[in-house]
Structure 1
Amino acid sequence: MQAPVLVDVDGKPRRPWITWFTDCATNAITGVAVTPVHSSRESVLAALRSAVLREDPYGPFGGVPEKVRVDRGKDFLFRTVTAAFDLLDVTVEDLPAYTPHLKGTVEGLNRAVESMFLAALPGYARQPRPGKRPTRPKGEVLLSFEDFTARLLDWTRWWNTEHQPAPLRGRTPLEAWQDDPTPLRDVPAADLWTFTLEDAGTRSLTTRGIRFRRRDYVGSWMTGQAGIQVRVRFMPHHDHRIEVYHAATGRYLGPADDQATEEQISAVRRTRAARARRLKKDLEASQRERYAAATQAESPRRLGALTGAQAGAELAQATDTDLSDLALPDLIPPAAPPAGWRTPASLTALTTPGQPVPLPSGSDEETAPDRRDGPAARPTTDEDGDA
């Protein structure tokens, strides 16, 4: 769900997304993940890991579920997510569209978290405004993304350990979980991490490292390993680091990365922001139009000085950036057709003079006689058709 709360993400107000797994029998929140922007397969996999693991800080809820019901969200139906469910031997039930009653547990949780927790936070997007004004109050201080995530996790612990939902009849989700005798199926954390990584195929380990997405990834463990075939896995959207496995044995070799320093990343972001502001300013200037005031009936007169040199320079710059204008389709004329082909004269004039292209082997057509050794061939006309 997209939380109806604005939080501060790198100086910009954004509405975070919450992805969580709930247990239908006990109403317990088994796994949760928060992203500053829209959810993706990476957030689903992160929530899945927290839902399966029962060790700190995720326990005691967890274990591999028997069935998972999803609401046709594309982030749940990505190939990486479905492959992870298949490896864990989990049945995925893809619910029909617009059927919230088939997943009432999580829909009830979404309503509860808004009314019991999100509505009291600063930046709540659905609070009434005086005079129906859509803007936020001046001077309102938003929570940082880190603070919002910490408060949400605290509320999740309160929900699991202290809150008593009505269907549980006076018990907390933790008490209902502990009273359930159903055996649990656990997966080691290392294996679970491998299952939830996206497979990027095999690569060759060279002296420059591993080439992946037009970047070279290196690691200290690669010394003396050049020439072997490896399999690359990575967490979706976290391409700053990859996990490398032996292609033949599947043995984990180690991580590899090509991450820039924090100073470089900050400098690049500042440069991009300055360029975006400059482009936005140029766009606004190009769309700004002024007209002269009229004191009598006349056609509108557009104002603004534009010299002939400026117009020519701008048109030349636009021409240089249009690939269709830069194309030269007639730079290299096509070769002459075989002599046995009946080609219209209009097309023959466009071909390169010289030795004709030989006929393919096994052709049944006869070659026309050479003009130097025999009589001239019958001239072709524009009305002649192709062979």
Structure 2
Amino acid sequence: MEGLNRAVESMFLAALPGYARQPRPGKRPSRPKDEVLLGFEDFTARLLDWTRWWNTEHCPAPLRGRTPLEVWQDDPTPLRDVPAADLWTFTLEDAGTRTLTTRGIRFRKRDYVGPWMTGQAGTQVRIRFMPHHDHRIEVYHAATGRYLGPADLADQATEEQVSAVRRARAARSRRLKKDLEAAQRERYAAATQAEPPRRLGALTGAQADTELARNADTSLSQLALPDVIPPAAPRPTGVPRHPWPR
């Protein structure tokens, strides 16, 4: 396994379209503009095929004409199979104790619920979770360590909502990247003696006003709280805005 992990980049990844690892500092390889990147499924299929070739056909020099699979099968070291359920627990991280309430379990400012929680309010529990898999947590009794059951994220967003959020995040990321690139394009005048740096580059008054206005709009939109004052109910048709008493 160690040999495979060491060889996967130089023997497999480096030959794929889009490989961007620099061979040495200061030299960036050029990439064709019409290069088509692999999709996730295609990449996975190729990686599995390469792994099969490495294990069953490739004969590394240290193995003296044998494949890694043949060496593995000839090794007399006894093996002990670990049940998948036990092996899975080694991937979990501990998140401390919580109190189970009628709303479920509060974890990272979100509620998690499970059908087994009925009648368990007030119980002290310990949370374990798999990193980056935040749709579910595993719950254990805090005092005895007994496994109680899983808890799923309450009020989970739909696929359409998740897609919309990802599109919004991507657009925001592109804007931030452009702003960062603009901020890093600072140029300074040459100096022949010790003196404060002098920035180069000029802005017109209109350019400065436009950029400041854009930043102000962004700041105000972040401070907006649309739910603080609910909108008033619409007036019935034909009713004037300020009726006068007769």
Same-fold call, TM cutoff 0.5: yes
TM interval, short-chain normalised: 0.5 to 0.7
**2:162 corresponding residue in structure 1:** 265
The two structures have a TM-score, normalised by structure 2, of 0.64
Q: Provide the C-alpha distance between the structure 2 equivalents of 1:126 and 1:207, rounded to a whole number of angstroms.
A: 51
Root-mean-square deviation (CA), in Å?
A: 3.9
Q: Which has the higher contact order (CA 8 A, sep 6+)?
A: 1
1:219·1:257 contact (CA, 8 Å) conserved in 2?
A: yes
Q: Provide the C-alpha distance between the structure 1 equivalents of 2:65 and 2:28, rounded to a whole number of angstroms.
A: 42
The Cα shift of 1:302 comes to: 5.8
SS in 2 for 1:143: coil
The Cα shift of 1:187 comes to: 2.0
Residues 171, 272 of structure 1: alpha-carbon distance in 2 compared, 3 angstrom cutoff: closer
In structure 2, stretches of 5+ residues that fail to align are 186-200, 223-246
Q: Provide the C-alpha distance between the structure 1 equivalents of 2:207 and 2:54, rounded to a whole number of angstroms.
A: 67
Aligned equivalent of 1:235, options 130, 142, 147 = 130
Residues 245, 167 of structure 1: alpha-carbon distance in 2 compared, 3 angstrom cutoff: same
2:22·2:29 contact (CA, 8 Å) conserved in 1?
A: no
The Cα shift of 1:162 comes to: 1.8
The Cα shift of 1:114 comes to: 4.0
**1:303 corresponding residue in structure 2:** 204
1:246 and 2:246 matched? no
**1:147 corresponding residue in structure 2:** 42
The Cα shift of 1:282 comes to: 7.2
1:195 and 2:90 matched? yes
1:219·1:255 contact (CA, 8 Å) conserved in 2?
A: yes
What is the correspondence of 1:70-149 to structure 2 with a 5 Å cutoff? 105=3, 110=6, 112-125=7-20, 134-149=29-44
Q: Provide the C-alpha distance between the structure 2 equivalents of 1:150 and 1:231, rounded to a whole number of angstroms.
A: 39
Q: Provide the C-alpha distance between the structure 1 equivalents of 2:58 and 2:183, rounded to a whole number of angstroms.
A: 59
Q: Provide the C-alpha distance between the structure 2 equivalents of 1:244 and 1:266, rounded to a whole number of angstroms.
A: 29
**2:59 corresponding residue in structure 1:** 164
1:119·1:127 contact (CA, 8 Å) conserved in 2?
A: no
1:209 and 2:104 matched? yes
**1:25 corresponding residue in structure 2:** none
2:22·2:28 contact (CA, 8 Å) conserved in 1?
A: no
Higher radius of gyration, 1 or 2: 1
In structure 1, stretches of 5+ residues that fail to align are 1-20, 23-104, 289-299, 322-387
Percent of pairs identical after alignment?
82
The Cα shift of 1:260 comes to: 2.3
More helix by percentage: 2
Residues 253, 264 of structure 1: alpha-carbon distance in 2 compared, 3 angstrom cutoff: same
- Aligned pair count reads 197
**2:151 corresponding residue in structure 1:** 256
The two structures have a TM-score, normalised by structure 1, of 0.43
**2:226 corresponding residue in structure 1:** none
Residues 171, 257 of structure 1: alpha-carbon distance in 2 compared, 3 angstrom cutoff: same
The Cα shift of 1:278 comes to: 5.3
